[in-house]
Structure 1
Amino acid sequence: MSPLDAAHLLLATVGSRNVKDSATIVGRPGGLVSSAGKWAPSFVNIPELIGLPADHSFADALEALIAAASNGSLQRAAEELEQAQVDLVRDAAPALNIEVSLYGPVPRGAILIEEIVTDNEGQQHRYRDHWDRHFYGERSVVKKSGNLAWIDIARPAEMDSDLKTVSTFTHRTIATIGALLAGDTPPNTAA
């Protein structure tokens, strides 16, 4: 399995409230495209993510994170930030925090990468301006003009409910999948 296959499987799993519709998030026309352009976090170096083009998709970014986890560059980035050895799966509060969220019923995504520090009282905080967040939405596949040109129109099946959903996973899931793809046995996360 490749990092792209793993990214698609993960998106299909968390991206829909109806199992029968789970693959539609992966193949949705227009894709979920970054509204922020290129990744350029100044506080952490994840080459696979930084190398993405400005019009990259949510699946591209997730693939890049999984590839970084499988080839060790995500681990190296976390250890450079921490200035110590870190276990992205089992450590309770590593300095590198990654949160990936999918919103529904109209698909949207967000990826947050931040540096977390713990103060003398044990409270965790985002370190100064050490964070970067990209939001992902559908790019219009129909040529439009004016101030509504980039609006994503919900499909009828997505409008049948006012129930909003959010599915979120973190660097732990990404690191575990990366370890599996690399052929490593991820640490037992059971307590």
Structure 2
Amino acid sequence: MPRDSSFTMTAQDAPSDDALLCAYAAGDTAAARELMERLAPRVLRLAQRLLQDRAEAEDVTQEAMLRLWQIAPKWVPGGAQPSTWLHRVAVNLATDRLRRRRSVALDSIAEPDDPAPAVVEGMIEADRQRALDEALALLPDRQRAAVVLRHLEGLGNPDIAAAMGIGVEAVESLTARGKRRLTELLSGRRNELGYDR
């Protein structure tokens, strides 16, 4: 029968992701909850940036977390971090969905909902977000993944390399090319997006 120990500690005393995953593998349901609260929002943000579709991002997050729970009994602490492993799975799942999407006619894809709030600042921020998402969608899959992981999720190059299964030099190249392309795509829209100062 699964145990339910308490992981309510201060931030500096909090168990590592490794420790939580191992505790879950041993039957500790509180460890699973804690790990889910830590990692699922990050995976959801990553998937949403890559897919630009909330429902698909939620599916990817659920599938990635399920795979993490499935490998928990075989997890070896001290190697890759669970978050890095999870980012890699999410990138792969999102990339698979993007490939399948390419075979679908563009006319069959529904227009995204307009999330614009009533206040002017919210509208400007929504326009900026939409412009960034549109520009990100024009990048090749690997460039998009590298840019999102580095500049929107805040991962370091070694973690991105591990998540994408490539070398650090390849990450640096992908992010540099991706940033250059984003700059080209967005440079003509500075005034429109309120960056005219």
Instruction: Tell me which interval the TM-score lies in, with the shorter structure as reference length.
Output: under 0.3
Greater share of residues in strand? 1
Q: TM-score, normalised by structure 1?
A: 0.26
Q: Which has the higher contact order (CA 8 A, sep 6+)?
A: 1
Where is the helix percentage greater, Structure 1 or Structure 2? 2
